């Protein structure tokens, strides 16, 4: 199964915080979590195709929901984008932009680490956030990335 | 990228004895696999075994049935196997019938249905049986690219959802080329059921397995009440142990022979008893086992030409009780079903018995019977197979006595019809000699790897208590030809050879 270590969770939190520190992107116009996932769409679609990206997102959301029941209204659309995290949902209770949303990113990263390993996951992230300082960061295994 | 940097692909147990070894440790987790083969070759049984081994309520298995064998019939037949666990049904294992979707709708609907079920159950294992039916229906009016896209989307989704998938299909080998299923698959396992004269031999091949090294070639397997059991063809080829020269000796119950061997058979050796019919090879082997039992050493006898009760009956005639040790678990007489055996399963059976009984002594009686018990295809590889079997057995530390029948000639001293003497650490040769109008028997130790041995050629007799060995047969030359001449031509029948007199007392 997908093992999301505390390090991966912290990693996800830092990526979300990184997006939060930037001006709102016109791409999603929503939460930092959605922006992180959308930024991962391009490299992941290259690796797995559009359908593969959608499958990965749906799996990450399902795993996150199992962990955080308040994410119940979060859905993955047919194009792989998320619904219910960006504040556009009808139910205000479902706008889970904070800690709960980070779990979705953490689960997505956990899936990537499971499938392609830590080094390639980190390389993929560096390609998306080239200016981000990820030095000394690791996802929880014995190795330091 | 260093070894440490590589992603670790976890391996899932198959639950099929021997198969994990063939696969290189198990099935790669989250892989997308095809189990292919003709009807009746064991595809569904194999899939069921994997499913029952791995399914849990938290990570269930979804078993999609499509037009082929409906779930109700599968359940009727599969519950005959010991791995079947009814408690897992509908909790850890769910059967879902996709027939109506396949019949009435298109590939997208099939995919949607599978996706819906997978997202609902989060399964660890998914089986589609038979996927061939899905594809065959789809091919009616579906472009090849569309079919390929469907298979790829299915594979991506199931892998993303962390399911290890098995598509089962009745394929023939000619279909491998250009078939998108085989292109997309991470693992391709082909099962065969071959008819060799009147014998049936089941074999499996790992044609493709991404991410790990599997054992190439065809491996035999058998389906019994326990399900599928596979026999890796490399079994016994690795890990030979070095043997110390000064090992303990195992007496064989014939003091004179033990003396000739320098105290007995070196522990862990493989000894070959060669001789023509009626020279007492089986008697010698039986005495070896009986002596072990007397010393508290469990034993195993693998026989091919007679049934265990007959073998034990013959031992009883020699004053050896094999019934009680069998009841006590100290002796296992393995009668291996003749005519369609593979060497690998014979080896497995004996090794399992060694483990079960803690055996120190093993008798294989006889190699000729063993060869006859094999399916015809395996007889051609008999020599190589024996090499593997003896290697695997001696690696466990047991001491083996094998008997082999050799046709008696009067021009040479043949040791085995299989040219296998190099496999044996020690060789005892029994043979007939014609002396003064009598057919007598002589015994000699031809070879002992662990050290010196007697060079004597000694006459012996088979008595109601087993082999009785007399003194060295002197006064003749050419004994090993079988037609010796007296060194002193004046020696005649009336002058008994020294050993003979002892035996007759």
Q: How far is A59 from chain B (nearest CA, A)?
A: 5
> Would you call B119 an interface residue with chain A, using a CB distance cutoff of 8 Å?
yes
Find which of A50, A58, A59 to mutate to test the B interface (most B CBs within 10 Å of its CB): A59
Locate the chain A residue with the closest alpha carbon to B58. A1
Mean pLDDT of chain A: 79
Taking contacts as CB-CB distances below 8 angstroms, the residues of chain A near B156 are 48-49, 51-52, 55
Taking contacts as CB-CB distances below 8 angstroms, the residues of chain B near A5 are none
Q: How far apart are CA B461 and CA B468, in angstroms?
A: 5
Q: How far apart are CA B199 and CA B190, in angstroms?
A: 20
> Would you call B412 an interface residue with chain A, using a CB distance cutoff of 8 Å?
no
State the DSSP code for B336: P
Inter-chain CB proximity B122 and A118 less than 8 Å: no
Inter-chain CB proximity A117 and B7 less than 8 Å: yes
Residues whose CB is less than 8 angstroms from the CB of residue B256 and which lie 6 or more positions away in sequence, other chains included: B458, B469, B470
Q: How far apart are CA B336 and CA B327, in angstroms?
A: 19
Inter-chain CB proximity B122 and A117 less than 8 Å: no
Question: Who among A1, A49, A118 is closest to B156 (CB)?
Answer: A49
Q: How far apart are CA B229 and CA B197, in angstroms?
A: 23
Inter-chain CB proximity A143 and B5 less than 8 Å: yes
Beta bridge partners of residue A43, listed in sequence order: none
Find which of A47, A50, A51, A56 to mutate to test the B interface (most B CBs within 10 Å of its CB): A51
Taking contacts as CB-CB distances below 8 angstroms, the residues of chain A near B59 are 1
Question: Who among A2, A113, A117 is closest to B6 (CB)?
Answer: A117
Q: CB contacts < 8 Å between A and B, how many? A: 51
Inter-chain CB proximity B160 and A116 less than 8 Å: no
Taking contacts as CB-CB distances below 8 angstroms, the residues of chain B near A117 are 5-8
Q: B38 in helix, strand or coil?
A: coil
Do A4 and A110 contact (CB within 8 A), yes or no? yes
Query: Residue B241's CB: how many other CB atoms inside 10 A?
Result: 11
> Would you call B160 an interface residue with chain A, using a CB distance cutoff of 8 Å?
yes
Report the Cα B70 to chain-centroid distance in Å.
34
Find which of B4, B30, B125, B160 to mutate to test the A interface (most A CBs within 10 Å of its CB): B160
Q: How far apart are CA B394 and CA B445, in angstroms?
A: 20
Angle at B163 between CA B160 and CA B168, to 5 degrees: 120
Do B205 and B217 contact (CB within 8 A), yes or no? yes
* pLDDT higher at A88 or B261: B261
| Tokens (6 digits) for B304 | 């091919």
Q: DSSP of A14-28, one letter per residue? A: HHHHHHHTSPPPTTT
Q: How far is B170 from chain A (nearest CA, A)?
A: 28
* pLDDT higher at B83 or A138: B83
Cα dist. B409→B404, B433, B480 in Å? 15, 10, 10
Inter-chain CB proximity A52 and B162 less than 8 Å: no
Q: How far apart are CA B26 and CA B230, in angstroms?
A: 13
| Tokens (6 digits) for B504 | 């007759």
Taking contacts as CB-CB distances below 8 angstroms, the residues of chain B near A55 are 156-157, 159-161
Locate the chain B residue with the closest alpha carbon to A55. B157
User: What band does A141 get if pLDDT is binned at 50, 70 and 90?
Assistant: very low
Locate the chain B residue with the closest alpha carbon to A115. B7
Q: How far apart are CA B171 and CA B190, in angstroms?
A: 9
Question: Who among B4, B153, B160 is closest to A59 (CB)?
Answer: B160
The pLDDT of residue B190? 96
Pairing of strands B93-97, B61-65: parallel
User: What band does A29 get if pLDDT is binned at 50, 70 and 90?
Assistant: very low
pLDDT of A24 above 80: no
Q: How far apart are CA B303 and CA B367, in angstroms?
A: 9
Q: How far is B151 from chain A (nearest CA, A)?
A: 12
Average pLDDT over residues A63-77: 91
Taking contacts as CB-CB distances below 8 angstroms, the residues of chain B near A118 are 5, 7
> Would you call B159 an interface residue with chain A, using a CB distance cutoff of 8 Å?
yes
Per-residue HEC secondary structure of B254-269 comes to CHHHHHHCCCCEECCC
Locate the chain B residue with the closest alpha carbon to A122. B5
Judge if pTM exceeds 0.80. no
pLDDT of A30 above 50: no
User: What band does A95 get if pLDDT is binned at 50, 70 and 90?
Assistant: very low
Burial (CB < 10 A; 0-12, 13-18, 19+), residue B174, is exposed
| Tokens (6 digits) for B367 | 């190699």
Taking contacts as CB-CB distances below 8 angstroms, the residues of chain A near B30 are 114-115
Do B475 and B269 contact (CB within 8 A), yes or no? no
Cα dist. B330→A130, B140, B309, B322 in Å? 71, 63, 16, 9
Inter-chain CB proximity A58 and B5 less than 8 Å: no
Q: B210 in helix, strand or coil?
A: coil
Q: Which of A40, A8, A34 is nearest to A128 (CA)?
A: A40
The residue count for chain A: 145
Taking contacts as CB-CB distances below 8 angstroms, the residues of chain A near B162 are 1-2, 59, 111, 114
Do A62 and A69 contact (CB within 8 A), yes or no? no
The pLDDT of residue B100? 81
> Would you call B11 an interface residue with chain A, using a CB distance cutoff of 8 Å?
no
Q: How far apart are CA B229 and CA B16, in angstroms?
A: 6
Inter-chain CB proximity A52 and B156 less than 8 Å: yes
Beta strands in B261-318 (DSSP E): 265-266, 270-275, 299-303
Angle at A54 between CA B140 and CA A31, to 5 degrees: 155
Q: Which of A52, A35, A48 is nearest to A104 (CA)?
A: A35
Is the Cα torsion angle A143, A145, B3, B6 positive or negative in sign?
A: positive
User: Splitting chain B (505 residues) into consecutive groups of 10 residues, what average pLDDT does each group show?
Assistant: 76 96 95 94 95 96 85 86 93 90 84 93 94 74 76 93 94 79 92 82 94 92 94 72 80 96 94 93 96 96 89 93 94 79 80 91 91 79 81 89 84 65 86 88 92 92 94 84 78 48 35
Q: Identify the contact set of chain A against chain B, taking CB-CB distances under 8 A.
A: 1-2, 48-49, 51-52, 55-56, 58-59, 62, 111, 113-120, 142-143
The pLDDT of residue B481? 80
Residue located via tokens 């008696």: B408
Taking contacts as CB-CB distances below 8 angstroms, the residues of chain B near A48 are 156, 160
pLDDT of A92 above 50: no
Cα dist. B41→B150, B278, B375 in Å? 27, 43, 17
The pLDDT of residue A143? 38
Locate the chain B residue with the closest alpha carbon to A48. B156
pLDDT winner (highest mean) among A9-18, A123-132, B286-295 = B286-295
């Amino acid at each position: 199964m997908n093992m999301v270590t505390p390090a991966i969770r912290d990693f996800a939190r830092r990526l979300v915080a990184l997006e939060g520190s930037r001006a709102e992107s016109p791409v999603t116009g929503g939460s930092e979590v959605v922006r992180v996932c959308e930024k991962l769409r391009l490299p992941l679609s290259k690796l797995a195709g559009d359908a593969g990206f959608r499958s990965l997102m749906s799996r990450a959301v399902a795993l996150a929901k199992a962990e955080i029941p308040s994410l119940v209204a979060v859905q993955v659309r047919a194009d792989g984008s998320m619904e219910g995290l960006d504040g556009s949902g009808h139910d205000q209770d479902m706008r889970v932009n904070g800690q709960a949303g980070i779990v979705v990113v953490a689960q997505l990263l956990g899936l990537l680490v499971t499938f392609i390993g830590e080094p390639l996951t980190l390389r993929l992230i560096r390609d998306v956030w080239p200016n981000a300082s990820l030095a000394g960061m690791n996802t929880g295994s014995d190795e330091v990335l | 990228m260093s070894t440490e940097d590589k992603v670790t692909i976890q391996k899932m147990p198959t639950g099929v004895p021997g198969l994990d070894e063939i696969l290189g440790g198990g099935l790669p987790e989250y892989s997308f696999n095809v189990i292919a083969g003709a009807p009746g070759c064991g595809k569904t049984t194999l899939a069921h075994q994997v499913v029952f081994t791995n399914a849990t309520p938290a990570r269930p298995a979804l078993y999609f049935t499509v037009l082929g064998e409906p779930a109700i019939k599968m359940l009727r037949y599969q519950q005959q196997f010991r791995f079947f666990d009814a408690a897992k049904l509908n909790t850890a294992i769910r059967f879902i019938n996709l027939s109506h979707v396949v019949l009435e709708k298109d590939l997208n609907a099939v995919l949607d249905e599978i996706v819906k079920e997978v997202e609902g159950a989060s399964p660890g294992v998914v089986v589609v049986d038979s996927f061939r039916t899905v594809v065959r229906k789809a091919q009616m009016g579906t472009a090849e690219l569309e079919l390929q896209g469907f298979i790829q989307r299915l594979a991506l989704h199931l892998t993303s959802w962390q399911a290890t998938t098995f598509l089962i299909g009745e394929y023939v080998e000619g279909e491998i080329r250009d078939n998108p299923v085989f292109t997309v698959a991470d693992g391709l396992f082909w099962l065969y059921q071959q008819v060799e004269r009147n014998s049936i031999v089941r074999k499996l091949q790992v044609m493709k397995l991404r991410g790990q090294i599997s054992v190439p070639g065809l491996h035999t397997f058998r389906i019994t009440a326990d399900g599928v059991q596979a026999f890796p063809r490399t079994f016994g080829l690795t890990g030979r142990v070095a043997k110390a020269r000064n090992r303990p000796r195992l007496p064989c119950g014939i003091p004179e022979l033990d003396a000739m061997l320098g105290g007995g058979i070196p522990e862990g050796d493989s000894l070959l008893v060669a001789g023509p019919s009626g020279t007492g090879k089986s008697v010698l082997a039986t005495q070896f086992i009986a002596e072990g039992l007397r010393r508290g050493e469990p034993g195993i006898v693998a026989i091919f030409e007679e049934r265990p009760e007959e073998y034990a009956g013959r031992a009883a005639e020699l004053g050896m009780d094999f019934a009680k040790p069998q009841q006590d678990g100290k002796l296992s007489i393995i009668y291996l079903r003749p005519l369609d055996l593979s060497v690998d399963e014979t080896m497995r059976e004996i090794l399992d018995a060694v483990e079960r009984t803690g055996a120190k002594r093993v008798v294989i009686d006889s190699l000729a019977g063993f060869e006859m018990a094999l399916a015809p295809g395996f007889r051609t590889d008999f020599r190589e197979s024996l090499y593997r079997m003896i290697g695997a057995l001696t690696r466990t530390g047991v001491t083996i006595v094998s008997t082999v029948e050799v046709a008696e000639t009067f021009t040479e001293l043949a040791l085995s019809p299989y040219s296998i003497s190099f496999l044996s650490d020690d060789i005892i040769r029994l043979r007939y000699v014609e002396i003064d109008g009598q057919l007598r028997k002589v015994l000699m130790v031809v070879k002992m790897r662990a050290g010196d041995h007697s060079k004597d050629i000694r006459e012996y007799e088979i008595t109601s208590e087993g082999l009785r060995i007399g003194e060295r047969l002197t006064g003749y030359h050419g004994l090993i030809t079988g037609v010796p001449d007296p060194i002193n031509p004046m020696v005649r029948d009336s002058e008994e050879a020294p050993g003979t007199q002892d035996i007759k007392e």
